[in-house]
Chains A and B, each alone.
Chain A
Amino acid sequence: MTELKQRILPTVQKPARYTGGEWGEIKKDLKDVRLRVAFCFPDTYEIGMSNVGMRILYGVMNKMDGVWCERVFAPWGDMEEAMRENGLPLWALESQDPVKDFDMIAFTIGYEMAYSNILNMLDLAGVPLHSRDRHDLKNIVFAGGVCAFNPEPLADFIDFFSLGEGEESTVEIVSLYDRAKAEGWTKETFLQEVSKIPGVYVPSFYRHEYNEDGTLAAIVPLNGAPETVTKRIIENLDTAFFPTEMIVPSTEIVHDRANLEVFRGCIRGCRFCQAGFSCRPVRKKSPEVLYQQAVEIMEKSGNNEITLSSLSTSDYRGLKKLTDELIPYCADNKINLSVPSLRADNFSRELMEKLQTVRKSGLTFAPEAGTQRLRDVINKNLTEDEILNTCANAFSGGWNNVKLYFMLGLPTETDEDVLGIADLVYKVIKTWKEHAVNKKRGLRVHVATAYFVPKPHTPFQWEKQITPQEYLRRCRLLKEHFYSKSIEYDYHGPDLSRLEAVFARGDRRLGPVIEAAVRNGAKLDGWDEYFNYAKWYDAFRECGVDEDFYTVRGYGEEEILPWDTIDVGVTKKFLKLERKRAYEEKVTPDCRHGCAGCGASGLLKEVACDA
């Protein structure tokens, strides 16, 4: 007779995402395994399998003797329903064993909208949601990823956080657990010991006290915990672990290709960008190592596409050398090489043309703001001339498809700035008319505006978010000024970005809200099919929490911030200075034109910042 899970699979969409068994999956014999880690990605298989960080840490942990790390993803709604109906607890892909049988449960969190999925996955696994209700060493829950840079909204649920890059710290954490398990430590003892590993933050070791107006009065470290916890970084990327034996999904995922990270950090300093500040300092990887890894990964995976990734790939010094070698290799082997995150200002025609010999990909710019004044405020050092020149180059090279991304609601933004977006778009159209080699196909300009979300650890971390009504007014204002048939304008409703803003700068009082929302059925909030603000609205009301406190209020510069315990290397003093320069409409040159003194180089001991 066919077992339960096999009977459910034919009834759900894309069943292959629940079965494991892909090329490159790591299986171990349980008799050689002392410690099992369920590595959870709080979104679907298609999203999670596209995440490079997870692939790296999966490899790191499985390389450890006696440790078996398996993957777990959030089920789609149809599968969740079947699981709940049949009492089938959440399982890990490799062994198909229930998550609750695992020693450690890890989450990687890259997006605030995944918070509901974390709770929902723990619930589906049959693991208590609250840290305080999990008494044993078994099922310890820890998390990392960019959202760990303000972990407070999750403080009730996650036992400890691993801050920053995990190639080394994960090994230290898992080894300590191995010892704790062998020696029979209590959970308390383990938390005490793990908090001594640099980069580990144990939220229960801090008491948050509030003023009457709701702002933080104090963050009190307990049990001798340090005042601040500094994120971890890898100094030498050439020798750091990188998985050249990747899992090749048997079903299509979002980024179905090999991904090679060319460097870490960013020299640009766009003032709204969390990654730009929290991923500093800049560390390079050598083109020789990258080429070797590219060839190895392509041969072992059989992929037909590889992407060179980083926050701003044009700023990678070895780009010419690397692409000079990779382009012929890719052409010979019918591999599509994609190089996203190229900047308009140094997106050379040469590289564009060379990439074109393999396959023509789209042209995308993110000017973020419509006027030079506002681009100076946000320090997006991209001029109109640079955009139009690059477009001219591209149009004369045969491109006829441009995507332009902007934000609405940036600090100091006026209607003039909003209409500046329309102006810029018309200039792009004009440029096309002047330079297009083939006008028959027509031009498509895809314009998208996002609702600005102030993020922690950026110069805009204190800023107000504009109200949803005001955001929509600006969207409509812009829409009224788009007449051309070539323009396709997209804007999302404000709810998701509003919620993202709440959690990005949230504090511990949001824990009950997340829990209530999940109880109301919130899940897969990053998906239009599931996102429903009403569930969250009710949760906020149930818990007596006002969204506006975290969004339109704005934070005072002297206020204690929920994420003050977390040190990402960039100093608060620098962020304040950058904020002041923003209001003065002064740009700060990129790090290569002179160190602005952000402080992140202080994280380096062996090498210098490669900005």
Chain B
Amino acid sequence: MTQSKISVKNLNMYYGDFHALKNVNLEVEANQVTALIGPSGCGKSTFLRVLNRMNDLIEGVKVEGSVLLDGCDIYRPEEDVVNLRKRIGMVFQRPNPFPMSVYDNIAYGPRIHGIKDKRKLDEIVEKSLRAAVIWDEVQDRLYKSAIGLSGGQQQRICIARLLAVEPEVLLMDEPTSALDPLATMKIEELIQALKKEYTIIIVTHNMQQAARVSDVTAFFLTGDLLEYGKTDTIFTKPTDKRTEDYITGRFG
């Protein structure tokens, strides 16, 4: 048996008294797209944030259980969180490029990680922008502000910015919820292309999107991971009645 890229074991998370994730067990395979679905407040975004310790700074958060990345617990005390977030990057709902040039957005991460050589940076910037399928659209305006780009372009800049630090896992929290259908399709195509190199976990409220882009789907409800399986099975023949009710829009 091959080792999972991420292995979550008996994970419990609390916001103060609130039990936000209840004994979640999940294996995420490398080079697959895993979709997390469920109604608002079910814990799917919380779960995503657990995976790169984004909840660390929130007051009163307690995490129990283990999250193994390549077999190594990311919650062990000596874990370097900056390095962890380099390995596991995140894309958010609203594109959030830095208010600086396209070039500087992409070069930001590599610079922080100590790369100063201009030629090396040029190379990383071009490679990352190409990988995020945005190079053709911005190569003539690399030194202009990224803020002037469209929403869909900005989101791809944010993905390119992640790729520049050579992550292994990409976490995407509703990455297309603020985008129009065409920009959404571009991101979805990009996800398909990126999964050859990366492991991707995406939170989405759009069932069709989960069905289109993911290999595996996990359904969360009130902090429980209720059903987890191959996407084509979940969307044609879910096992749990609650999964069926949710994906067919008959919840409650």
Tell me whether A and B are bound partners: no
Q: Which residues of B contact A (CB under 8 A)?
A: none
Q: Which residues of A contact B (CB under 8 A)?
A: none
